[in-house]
Amino acid sequence: MPLLFGGDYNPEQWPPDVWAQDVRLMREAGVNLVTVGVFSWAALEPEPGRYDFGWLDTVLDLLHDNGIGVALSTPTASPPPWLGHRHPDTLPQGPDGIRRHYGSRNQYCPSSPVFRAAALAIAGALAARYAHHPALRLWHIGNEYGPSCHCGQCAERFRGWLKERYGDLDSLNAAWGTAVWSQRYSAWAEVLPPLRVPYVVNPLQDLDYQRFGSDILLECYTAERDAVRGHNPAVPVTTNFMDFYRHTDGWAWAVETDVVSLDTYPDPNDPGAGMRGAMSKDIMRSLGGGRPWLLMEQSPGAASWRPVATPKRPGLNRLWSLQAVARGADGVLHFQWRASRQGAERAHGAMVPHAGPDSRVFREICSLGAELARLSEVDGLLGERVPADVAIVLDWDAWRAAELPHQPHDGFRYVDRLTEYYEPLWRANITCDFARAGGRFRDYRLVLVPNLYQVTPAAAANLAAYVEVGGTVVLGPFSGVADPDERIFTGGWPGPWQDVFGVRVEEHWPLPEGVVLDVDSAELGDFTASTWAEWAQARGADVVAQVRGGPLDGRPVVLRNRYGAGTAWYIATLPAAEALARLLARVCADTGVEPVVPGLPPGVEAVRRGDWVFLLDHNDDTAEIRHAVPD
């Protein structure tokens, strides 16, 4: 199969004579896959139970006749107005108890039996009709699952979820710490989602609702997936994930898909966009266990939801597309094929922009299509894996918990912590995978844990065992602080790992903006740090860096400990970027982790996939690279 190339196609927005032009232009551009039907529910079922598949029959046949495959979507991300109008309890409620109405999209309550039944009915009807259509390559379930609802039906499902997790009410009371602030529940019926409350809500109630929110949406997804699979198990199924998205736990979701797919919209005005895009792509590859993944959506131009929707400069869409292929994607799709003339996304970029095919954007799309077709022909690329010696731990629960209200620093952002560790490695052309906290660390020379605030016993044991047998770990601050019930570990931090890291943290010491720590280090060179510090004490570890001056004078902030046959580094602060880069370079050198290509000019990215090395120049000017290719 060639590299997939195309985008979301919304023919229901256009009269049929445009469809003929569409397929002609698709062929010209080398498009071989389009996603159809994402928002077609109202067009497919104009009234309850009355289906109109005629137009979709024509579209799918037309695409097939022109050699274009289809990712067919169940259109359940945007129910038609008739559903919400007749059944207001299919509409979601916010934590404020206010109903969100139709007139936009995503207006569904995942717990609503009426919504579920209607969604399964349309998904089943589509599958019954098209599961063996020759154009069908892939099912695309829903779209960007994520909305949350706090209605009475969700409250009921939440109570059921809690009963599963905790068993009885006493255990729930114990886990939620309801002795605090007189929150003890005397009957299940009293237990609610975290609604709008006078002050800060119970932290585990909040966290459990986030966990539940991911699970209830996953239930919607798997129900539709199973409904379509039942008609033809040979067709793979996916749903599109977003870049860092806290509401749906990527690890739990990825295993339920046949192929992981990504929607990504880095900001062309962001100088760090190339790095950020690489990171999202590495996450998608990792969620799928290293298998090829699919870039489902990116904009060929502007993303109209940005406050300033600057288009991609010439060449940028090609660069970011090839970055996806380099980092393991076997397909590059866009949102969307033809620019909408109406509706909320009328200012969004598209493969065929408003200006029409006689445009810079369409010409670039055509040359990208041709290039991807050429790449499809080379041996040792498609389907191949991307080797990585470094894993970065990514954990949804730790992320959510670290950002709950009333943590020591409300500006402590989990994704920023991961990015701070990812960026210097990206600059050094060292490829990283992402791993779950309980993942198979032994596949890696080095495991980075920029933050793991919440730790399960299994994750604690997994990391300790890896170090013990010779692995190297770098652990960032505010880690090992709480268990999965959001109970703080007593006796110092990192709770389960004081022996592994040879350190005991007594106090967290978040720093206000503008306060800079001076740090002395003979080994790494002196540096500065900010935002976060800790009152730590070495308990067996070597002190590599310590604070100079101020109330933390002399406190260690970088420590290295031998544990079993391995090495455990603990970083109790947020070093300035160059200092963290030096530290990580040092650890990489110690562990034999090497760049894909050494000594490249800044801004030139190197990634190995299969037999190939991609060199991606993120600069505006020309870079000349002379590199001896090893045999």
Q: Which residues are catalytic?
A: 144, 297
484-503 binders of ligand GAL (CB under 6 A): none
Residue with tokens 């960032």, as numbered in its chain? 476
Q: How far apart are CA 274 and CA 266, in angstroms?
A: 8
Strand partners, 612: 609
Q: Report the half-sphere exposure of 353 (CA within 13 A, side-chain side).
A: 21
> Of 37 and 476, which has the nearer Cβ to ligand GAL?
37
Residue 95 burial by Cβ neighbours in a 10 Å radius (0-12, 13-18, 19+):
middle
> Of 263 and 364, which has the nearer Cβ to ligand GAL?
263
Cis bond before residue 48 (omega within 30° of 0): no
| Stretch (H or E) spanning 465 | helix 457-468
- Within 8 A by CB and 6+ apart from 208, the residues are 158, 161, 162, 165, 176
Q: Interface with ligand GAL by CB under 6 A: which range of 296-304, 412-420, 531-539, 553-561?
A: 296-304
Binding-site string for ligand GAL from residue 214 to residue 243, where x marks contact by CB under 6 A and - marks none? ------------------------------
Is residue 49 within 8 Å of residue 78, measured between CB atoms? no
Q: How far apart are CA 94 and CA 235, in angstroms?
A: 36
> Of 144 and 330, which has the nearer Cβ to ligand GAL?
144
| Shortest Å distance, C-beta 587 to ligand GAL | 37
Q: Interface with ligand GAL by CB under 6 A: which range of 297-305, 314-322, 479-487, 577-585?
A: 297-305
Indicate which single residue of 297, 330, 420, 534 sits in contact with ligand GAL (rule: CB under 6 A).
Answer: 297
> Of 267 and 617, which has the nearer Cβ to ligand GAL?
267
Indicate which single residue of 22, 144, 395, 483 sits in contact with ligand GAL (rule: CB under 6 A).
Answer: 144
51-90 binders of ligand GAL (CB under 6 A): none
Contact flag: residue 265 with ligand GAL (CB under 6 A): yes
Residue with tokens 């190297």, as numbered in its chain? 472
| Shortest Å distance, C-beta 141 to ligand GAL | 13
| Stretch (H or E) spanning 597 | none
Contact flag: residue 372 with ligand GAL (CB under 6 A): no
Under DSSP, is residue 401 helix (H, G, I), strand (E, B) or coil? helix
- Within 8 A by CB and 6+ apart from 103, the residues are 81
| No. of helices (H) and no. of strands (E), the chain | 17, 23
Residue with tokens 């090609």, as numbered in its chain? 318
Contact flag: residue 364 with ligand GAL (CB under 6 A): no
Contact flag: residue 320 with ligand GAL (CB under 6 A): no
| Shortest Å distance, C-beta 305 to ligand GAL | 6
Contact flag: residue 335 with ligand GAL (CB under 6 A): yes
Indicate which single residue of 32, 35, 74, 143 sits in contact with ligand GAL (rule: CB under 6 A).
Answer: 143
| Shortest Å distance, C-beta 149 to ligand GAL | 19
Residue with tokens 């890896």, as numbered in its chain? 466
> Of 208 and 345, which has the nearer Cβ to ligand GAL?
345
Q: Are strands 516-520 and 542-548 parallel, antiparallel or unpaired?
A: antiparallel
| Shortest Å distance, C-beta 249 to ligand GAL | 19
532 CB neighbour count, 10 Å cutoff: 24
How many chain residues are in contact with ligand GAL, going by CB under 6 A? 12
Contact flag: residue 303 with ligand GAL (CB under 6 A): yes
Indicate which single residue of 22, 45, 206, 263 sits in contact with ligand GAL (rule: CB under 6 A).
Answer: 263
| Shortest Å distance, C-beta 217 to ligand GAL | 15
Buried-exposed string 503-520: b where 16+ CB fall within 10 A, e elsewhere: bbbeebbbbeeeeebebb
Under DSSP, is residue 378 helix (H, G, I), strand (E, B) or coil? coil
Q: How far apart are CA 604 and CA 204, in angstroms?
A: 44
> Of 38 and 455, which has the nearer Cβ to ligand GAL?
38
Indicate which single residue of 348, 504, 508, 582 sits in contact with ligand GAL (rule: CB under 6 A).
Answer: 348
Contact flag: residue 521 with ligand GAL (CB under 6 A): no
Q: Residues interacting with ligand GAL, by CB under 6 A?
A: 38, 143-144, 263, 265, 297, 299, 303, 305, 335, 345, 348
